[in-house]
Amino acid sequence: MDTIDPPEPDLLASAVPIPGVFAPERPVVRTSAYRRFRRDVLREWRGLVEEWTSGSLKQWTLAGVVVSLLMMWKVDGPWLQGILTHLRSCPPPEALGTINFCRWVNVAGDFGFSLLIFVILSAIHSVKRSPFIRRLAVSVLVSSLVVGAAARVVKIGVGRVRPREMTRQHLQPWSCVGPALDANYNSFPSGHSSFAAAGSGPVLMAAPWAGIPLTACTLVIGGSRAVGMYHHPSDVVAGIWLGAMIGCTSGMRLRRLTQRARRIAACRAA
C-alpha cells in the first residue's frame, strides 16, 4: 500500500469536508498572526531552497540564460531599429500617447503590482480565514522579494546598457560594462517584468482562474518596458523567466501540499 507523507497542519484544516462525516477532534492551538506569518515565510523560504538544491531550478536558470543570449544576438538589434523607425514615422500625438501609456504602466508595474496582489489576498484571508489564501499571499510576497534581490544583483553585475543610452552612445545591443550602479547600465534583466511575474506566478499555479488575468497584466507590463525603450526584449524575457521560475515553483509547491492534504482528509474520512 502506498504511503502518503503527512501534510502541514494548516493546509489539512483547509481540506474540503465530506458531508455526513465528522472530522477527528484535534486540540485547538491558538497562534498569533505574527507567529503564523513568520512560520509561513520560513516554510516558503525553505521550500525554495529545497527546490534549488534538487537541481530543477538550476536547469531552468541555464535554459533562461541560453534563451536570453540568443535574443541578444538575433532579436535586440532589429527590434530597436524597428521601434525607432515606428516612433519617428508616427504623428507626434500618437507617438506621445504610446510613450505616456508605457510610463503609466511602468509606474503601476513595479513592486507595487506584487504588493497589490499580496494586499488583496491578505484582505480575502481576513474575511474567509483560509489557510490556503494565507499561504498563497505569503508565496507571492516571498517570491517577489527573492526575485527582486536576484534581479538587482544580476543588474549590477552584468551592467548592460539600456536602449536609450545605447542609442545615444551608438553602442551595440549586447554592450555591457560590467559591475555598475548607474541605472543607465542596469538593463538586464527587467526588474518590472520579474516582479510582475513573481507576483502572478504563484496565483497562476495555485488558482489558475485568478492567475490568468494577472499573467496577462504581466505581459503588458513587460511589453511596455520594451516599447518604451527602457529595456531590450531579451531583458524583458529574462525578467519574466526569472520571476515565473521562482513564482510558479512556489505556487506548484503550494498546490501539491493542498492536494496532499485533501487526499489525507479523504483517507481519514473513509
Give the CA dihedral 43, 48, 50, 55, nearest 10 degrees.
170
The pLDDT score that the predictor gives to residue 93 is 58
The pLDDT score that the predictor gives to residue 74 is 76
Residues 245, 202: Cα–Cα separation, whole Å? 10
Residue 102 included in any domain: yes
Per-residue pLDDT reduced to its tens digit, 201-224: 999 998 888 899 999 989 888 888
Question: How many domains is the chain partitioned into structurally?
Answer: 1
Cell of 199: 507576483
Residue 13 included in any domain: no
Residue 76 included in any domain: yes
176 three-class SS? strand
User: 221 near 195, Cβ under 8 Å?
Assistant: no
What angle in degrees, to the nearest 10, is found between the helix axes of 131-158 and 33-54? 50
Residue 28 included in any domain: no
Domain that residue 230 falls in: 38-269
Residues 10, 258: Cα–Cα separation, whole Å? 10
Pick the residue with more confidence: 58 or 144?
144
The pLDDT score that the predictor gives to residue 91 is 60
> Out of 24-28, 106-110, 157-161, which region has the weakest mean confidence (pLDDT)?
24-28
Burial label, 59 (beta-carbon count in 10 A; 0-12, 13-18, 19+): exposed
Per-residue pLDDT reduced to its tens digit, 140-183: 999 999 998 999 999 999 888 888 888 788 777 777 888 888 88
User: 159 near 179, Cβ under 8 Å?
Assistant: yes
Residue 108 included in any domain: yes
Pick the residue with more confidence: 103 or 248?
248
Residue 12 included in any domain: no
160 three-class SS? strand
Query: Comparing C-alpha atoms, which of 256, 254, 41 is closest to residue 138?
Result: 41
Residue 170 included in any domain: yes
Per-residue pLDDT reduced to its tens digit, 39-48: 888 888 888 8
The pLDDT score that the predictor gives to residue 18 is 44
Percent of the chain with pLDDT over 90: 19
Residue 15 included in any domain: no
User: 176 near 226, Cβ under 8 Å?
Assistant: no
The pLDDT score that the predictor gives to residue 142 is 93
User: 120 near 235, Cβ under 8 Å?
Assistant: no
Pick the residue with more confidence: 120 or 178?
120
